[in-house]
């Protein structure tokens, strides 16, 4: 079953955060079960950055959160992170 994960973050200094977020998405897209991961910005909300990723299963996303790409990138992104939520959607079959 395909799972869409929407990670809706609020960050400070979006311009500094974006290159880090894009590098994280590029690496994360190679994690087991990930089909793609992209970074979006909200032109109307300066501090909003949204990751949209497609996974084979929710368990793959959860494993990604414990994996190498997460450990590699999140420490550098953390100073800019204010809050966030993950939404999991399953593909209607």
**Host H or E run for residue 55:** strand 48-55
Question: pLDDT tens digit string along 50-85?
Answer: 999 999 999 999 999 999 999 999 999 999 999 999
Question: pLDDT tens digit string along 13-55?
Answer: 999 999 999 999 999 999 999 999 999 999 999 999 999 999 9
To 10 degrees, the CA torsion angle through 19, 69, 32, 21? -20
Domains of the chain: 3-90 (3.30.70.100)
C-beta of residue 64 within 8 angstroms of C-beta of residue 34: yes
C-beta of residue 1 within 8 angstroms of C-beta of residue 37: no
């Amino acid at each position: 079953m395909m799972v869409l994960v929407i990670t809706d973050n609020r960050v400070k200094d979006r311009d500094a955060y974006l290159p880090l977020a894009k590098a994280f998405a590029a690496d994360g897209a190679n994690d087991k079960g990930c089909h793609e991961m992209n970074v979006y910005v909200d032109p109307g909300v300066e501090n909003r950055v949204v990751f949209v990723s497609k996974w084979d299963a929710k368990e793959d996303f959860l494993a990604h959160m414990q994996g190498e790409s997460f450990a590699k990138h999140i420490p550098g992104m953390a100073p800019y992170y204010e809050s966030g939520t993950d939404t999991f959607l399953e593909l209607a079959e």
